[in-house]
Amino acid sequence: MASVENESNVVETEEDENFLSRLVQFAEQQEQQGEEVEEEEEEEEEENADDLSTLVALAQLVETVPEKKLRKRPVRRKVEKAVASLQTNPEVTDFFTGRMKDPLHYTYTPEGNLQISGVKGVPDKVIRMDKRFVPLNAIDYETLEEARKEKMKQVETDYIAALADLRKAQETYNLTKDTSSAAEVVAKNNNVLEKSRLVSRAAYPEYWVNVIGSIQTNLVLMQYDPYEIRKLGYPINIFKHYEFALKDAWGKYQERTGGGEEQEEMEGGGIRIRFITDVEDKATGHFHPFYLRNFVFNETEYCSPYQAYQAERFKELGEVELRKQILGTRSGRTMHTLALRNTTLPKTPSALWEDILFHFFHQHKDLAKELENTGSDKFHVMDKQIPAEVGPALEKARLKLRELGDTEVLEGEVKEKAITEEEQKKAKVGAIVNNFRRKF
């Protein structure tokens, strides 16, 4: 490395040294194998590499290292050629590009192949993958949970130890601060912050942020007029998280072993989970309790299952005013804010959700068909505003719909109605006018 270190315009770091040594070792291993044909060299180096992740990591780093730092000229070419062979099939790239815009028509087969159907200008086809998809079973989920618990124990132990070190350093500094520096305390404090982040990541490895831009004040500032539609002027960030990384909880891929065996294993008790993240999601939004469709339940016409649940809950609790306010809005977030004023559960929350969801889907045949077509999939609502009972209630409502078939269910006379979209628009206009009059 002497010739490299003598370059005045290059600053060596420990990371660079490790990177170069790995590259040189990688190249020497290939040269020792006596490869004479360049095309055969690249194929064999992939087969003999420790794993593909090492190749990809090298490729990501190679672009950041100056050419003159690579002592052996073939190294960069070999790595780039190997990574080029890992490039995705163009059909696969096109599939996932399309799925981002249209998840209803760009779907997956039970075996994990990619399926395109009903897209204008694109022929229906199935893109066969080299590996097949295997959904997780109950044992797999138990294994994931045990691994998560063990990791949490370890990082929490490390956090407690780091916190003890910080306290000790702080006590020492308090006694000698006139003659010592606070650098050690700062370093210990930074270590505690890092351990705290690791604890959070271990508890919730999957987290994301939903950004809502230009939101109306009546959705977040309840002390203002509920019908005022003035904008806040800044975006709102909603932080969400899940106990498992989705790449682990969704399922796993295995090498294909043949048609008959593959199908048999696919039917052998695997659990599929549909994650319901947001009411705006095209694929699962219609299963979200915030989804707006008028339906009748207990002689009242509601605008969404969530409104029905909260209104029926307040009715059981005798909260007449809160029930009235719930019926006076069509916003799921506003309903949730109102619901937090009294969080007492009904006597049988699971049964209430099941009954509401059954009537909701039964009165909308298109949505009922979507629910019935989910097979035996499990449902998990990842919106923290929604109770955990909703997922199992959807599954029970699906079973009841299948049992009834086309049998009609009489809903009874409507004696009470939630606010309609037209009424809400008029109320908002009136609120704006009244607010303007008060100011002038």
279 sits in which H/E element = none
Say how far apart CA 280 and CA 199 lie, in whole Å: 31
Task: For residue 83, give both structure tokens.
Answer: 């990574």
* Sheet with 125-127, edge to edge strand ranges: 106-108, 114-116, 125-127
Neighbours of 32 (CB within 10 A): 8
DSSP letter at 389? Answer: T
Would you write out the chain's pLDDT as a tens digit for each of its 440 residues? Answer: 444 333 333 334 454 555 555 555 655 555 555 444 444 444 444 444 444 445 445 544 544 444 444 444 455 565 555 545 555 678 888 888 888 888 888 887 766 788 898 888 888 888 887 777 677 777 887 888 888 889 899 999 999 999 999 999 999 999 888 888 889 999 999 999 999 989 888 888 887 787 777 777 666 665 556 566 667 777 777 777 777 777 777 777 777 655 433 333 333 344 577 888 888 888 888 999 999 999 999 889 999 999 999 999 999 999 999 999 999 999 898 999 999 899 898 989 999 999 999 999 999 999 999 998 888 888 888 887 888 889 899 999 999 888 887 767 666 678 898 888 888 777 776 666 666 666 55
- Say what the pTM is: 0.45
Go through 351-367 and write b for each residue having 16 or more CB atoms within 10 A of its CB, e for each that does not: ebbbbbbbbbbbbbeeb
Is residue 428 a contact partner of residue 227, using CB atoms and an 8 Å limit? yes
Say how far apart CA 142 and CA 150 lie, in whole Å: 12
Say how far apart CA 5 and CA 20 lie, in whole Å: 12
Domain 272-429 has CATH 3.40.50.2300: no
Q: Which residues contact 55 (CB under 8 A, 6 or more apart)?
A: 46, 49, 79, 82, 83, 86
Is residue 238 a contact partner of residue 209, using CB atoms and an 8 Å limit? yes
Q: Kind of pairing, strands 131-134 and 252-255?
A: antiparallel
Of the candidates 425, 134, 431, 406, the one whose C-alpha atom is nearest the C-alpha of residue 271 is: 134
Task: For residue 361, give both structure tokens.
Answer: 């889907």
The C-alpha angle 202, 204, 205, rounded to 5 degrees, equals 70
Is residue 418 a contact partner of residue 296, using CB atoms and an 8 Å limit? no
Is residue 256 a contact partner of residue 361, using CB atoms and an 8 Å limit? no
Is residue 242 a contact partner of residue 207, using CB atoms and an 8 Å limit? yes
Domain limits of the chain? 2-84, 91-129, 138-249, 272-429
Q: Which residues contact 125 (CB under 8 A, 6 or more apart)?
A: 115, 116
- Specify the long-range contacts of residues 108-117, CB closer than 8 Å, at least 24 apart: 108/133, 110/266, 111/262, 111/263, 111/266, 112/251, 112/253
Say how far apart CA 419 and CA 364 lie, in whole Å: 20
The pLDDT value recorded for residue 48 is 43
310 sits in which H/E element = helix 305-317
Is residue 306 a contact partner of residue 332, using CB atoms and an 8 Å limit? yes
The pLDDT value recorded for residue 117 is 86
Of the candidates 58, 69, 62, 64, the one whose C-alpha atom is nearest the C-alpha of residue 1 is: 69
Cα 261 to Cα 132, 138, 243, 330: the distances in Å are 12, 21, 33, 50
Of the candidates 348, 351, 324, the one whose C-alpha atom is nearest the C-alpha of residue 338 is: 324
Neighbours of 433 (CB within 10 A): 10
Say how far apart CA 113 and CA 167 lie, in whole Å: 55
The pLDDT value recorded for residue 358 is 93
What is the biggest distance separating any 2 CA atoms in the chain, rounded to whole angstroms? Answer: 90
The pLDDT value recorded for residue 154 is 92
Q: In sequence order, what are the beta bridge partners of 241?
A: 207
